[in-house]
Structure 1
């Protein structure tokens, strides 16, 4: 199977459904505005639209579809569970028991016997909210420390600790008490320092402020961190940054919450990304791929924090039995097929291919940095010609889509091409993606620098960014 785009985008059937969506749905919808297709279905690493176009899917439902579309074992697990039970609040069930046992078993061995699970509502945002409530209850403190570029959800409380300013400027009265600190985004250091000589000053600044009796920042209830910032632009935390942050929080008895909503479940080449940093967090938030394609969200936390009263954090759909069955099947497959080793291998292959594109003399100037871990990869794009980095990224996305590769943008001003392919992506599919990206980069580079329109699969000269 390979990508195949046989119509202009959007195709006629897609256009009809997109126009209906525009009439009927909220203006808050996002993906179809910049990826103008109506989806009919998917199989493996590909999805197809209602016009018969087939796309290599490097979005994977924003990371939810760990094993791609229509995985037969995950479908079979969910179908079998349909005949037993689907919704059981927080009552114990056999499906939930297996899920819990396997999930704790995926942790580093030293952590397994002292961690507890709380089942949240079905979104990562609800998991973050639960983590904040847990830490505030356990510490008796009120404030939270978060980081520039972090993204933790779109609810009122999670937006308060999210760096993205545009989503919350008009809301007012968000959760008070959040202080933001610089993240180790070394490509564009927020402190304008050289990473080779800065001694990780971003985390030193945090430590100094907490130690300063006149620093103005109270001892917080929690520090919340993404090991690899997703919406922030696929920015892996620097190793020294993480180890120092863990030392600082441990010395001050501040719970460290790691947001593994996107990085978890094998995405970065270990079950959780924090494992690659040699630390043990106090709270882990997990969602997205956790339910094997079905909604699920949990927090896993050190038992010493477990001071909640009954009903302290509830949610009607916290007992999604289909997610437990499919999620347990996902964990069985990951262990049986050594999926984590495969993620590391194919991630390195993709990374090498992207690095090679950066060395291409015709394409290289538009690529600022290639980064990421495992199969969570990003390419930060530079301004080119008269186009801003954001315009370059948008045109690359559309040029790739016309050739059959679907991905999303992230980072400041959406200037980072973000790739979240299925964890079982084959080497051939990875090479196909690299070939498409190379052609898309070349097309945009030629247009930006010379005004030429080259190699478009549909033969058109349309501008990027069809909005319907």
Structure 2
């Protein structure tokens, strides 16, 4: 039975309060059954759909951190549009900004023609950028997704440098369009395209729990930097001088892996010394998610190119690339996107940036994230299957392992993707939406809205701890059942009649 400690809720009105009370009233895990909407989705929607396979819900209402499905079940959303919903669902300042645009009769779609809404948005964005980066920077509005912005960044640096090769990292995720896919560390999505995805040199990312050099710690970090320097400078190394390097300061889909600040500074020094433009992909990490407005700020560096999407549109589709002015070698029309003039998204984005600043949500994310990870590490001490707890701010990953299996040749523990999936399913049955990622899908990922309170995070922890316990118990029961169902090798055989 679940704890009845009532979590406080942000003051977004009666609807959110009602959903919170209904969620707290949950005494027994939900029975997750299909409904006609899900059945029709399965029949008619592309086989490429992903989230409904692991989170089989049809949603009808959402406020704050809560969503309600068509069967009246209430869930805490710790996926939050893969980080898009920085302020949660239907936050009052976002709704008010959208209504103001609609009520004023402002154009909703303007291509790249300017408007007062767009002008305000650009000013608001530049005000939260580091001053030395914003000074003289240019902004390119792209299509509506982060992948579109990554495509623009690739074109930008290739045009500015006259080079073709890109440098990317193991475990990277930068989108699913053709160009962005070349930068992806995961091989699975790239296999169907055979040899058409060329021109990228992959480098080791500083994944301390699974150090690619089998060393770990400071020694592993330095080995990685020395190797990357060799790749970038060895005239006999076979890798041409690159058009650019792209990385995430915290890998998201790759398993919530924060790059150490010293490593980020080392990468910045290397790229500056070799004249390789540095692209930082902050699509998921930007706007307070990691306890800094942008994740690269933890290391005290500035990039040459910054890719932004997700939270930047206040839950609506928008993406931009911000870059140093000397890279602005575009010709008119060299990059475009029909929906780059999404006025509702710009108004919602300005409202989101303003609320993050006025409510000091960046500092809140840092504090709340540390507290939550402390709770998770206490849980880790009780369960050897929790191999690692990591993250930054409210971007948190819990890596699930199988301690009973032999370690790899590098000494890394065996991944337990099936157990991670079982934990995700048990979370869902208890009213908590989380996601998986990382190697073999073995990392449980949480990206709660930045407005989540510490009391609400305590409730999330209670649910997660119960889900881990239930999944492990189920696994143990299955193992015992399998062992008892197997005939004993030394048992006497029955004589023939």
- Give the distance between the partners of 2:112 and 2:333, measured in 1 at CA: 11
Q: What's 1:268 paired with?
A: 290
Q: How does 1:290-439 map to 2 (within 5 A)?
A: 290-360=312-382, 364-383=383-402, 389-439=416-466
In structure 2, do the counterparts of structure 1 residues 306 and 172 end up closer, same or farther at CA, with 3 Å as the change threshold? same
8 A contact 1:446–1:452 mirrored in 2: no
Match of residue 69 from structure 2: 49
Structure-2 separation of matches of 1:200 and 1:406: 37
User: What SS does the corresponding residue of 1:372 show, helix, strand or coil?
Assistant: strand
Alpha-carbon RMSD across the aligned residues, in angstroms, is: 1.7
Q: Secondary structure at the match of 2:374?
A: helix
Give the length in aligned residue pairs.
448
Counterpart of 2:242? 220
> Structure 1 residue 268: deviation in Å?
0.6
Distance 1:33 1:199, change over 3 A: closer
- Of residues 107, 123, 128, the one that matches 1:106 is 128
* Cα-to-partner distance string for 1:297-324 (whole Å, 9 max, x where unaligned): 0001000101110011100000000011
Please say if residues 121 and 127 of structure 1, whose CA atoms lie closer than 8 Å, have aligned partners that are also in contact: yes
Contact in 2 for aligned 1:122/1:317 (Cα 8 Å): yes
Check if 1:448 corresponds to 2:452: no
Aligned pairs (5 A) from 1:62-101: 62-82=82-102, 83-101=105-123
Counterpart residue number, 1:147: 169
Is 2:189 the counterpart of 1:170? no
Q: Is the Cα–Cα contact under 8 Å of residues 415 and 440 in structure 2 kept in the other structure? A: no
Determine which of 233, 245, 249 is the counterpart of 2:255. 233
Match of 2:139 in 1: 117
Q: Aligned partners of 1:165, 1:32: CA distance in 2, in Å?
A: 22
Q: Secondary structure at the match of 1:36?
A: coil
CA deviations over 1:236-259 (Å, ceiling 9, x no partner): 012222111111100011000000
Q: TM-score, normalised by structure 1?
A: 0.93
1:332-391 C-alpha deviation (Å, 9 max, x unpaired): 11111111111111111211111111122xxx2010100000000000011266896001
**One of 60, 75, 98 as aligned partner of 1:40:** 60
SS of the residue aligned with 1:117?
Answer: strand
Identify the range of structure 1 (1-10 vs 126-135) with the bigger mean alpha-carbon deviation: 1-10
State the partner residue of 2:484. Answer: none
Alignment of 1:233-252 (within 5 A): 233-252=255-274
Per the TM alignment, residue 197 of structure 1 is displaced from its structure 2 partner at its CA by 2.8
What is the CA-CA distance between 1:173 and the residue it aligns to?
A: 4.3
5+ residue gaps, structure 1, are 454-468
1:187 matches 2:215: no
C-alpha change, 1:385 and 1:54, in structure 2 (3 Å) is farther
Rg: which structure is higher? 2
Verify the 8 A CA contact 1:200 1:240 in the aligned structure 2.
no
Contact persistence 1:142–1:220 (CA under 8 A): yes
8 A Cα contact 1:384 1:392, kept in partner: no
Shift in Å, 1:451: 4.5
Q: Is this contact kept in 1: 2:150–2:174, CA < 8 A? A: yes
Match of 2:231 in 1: 209
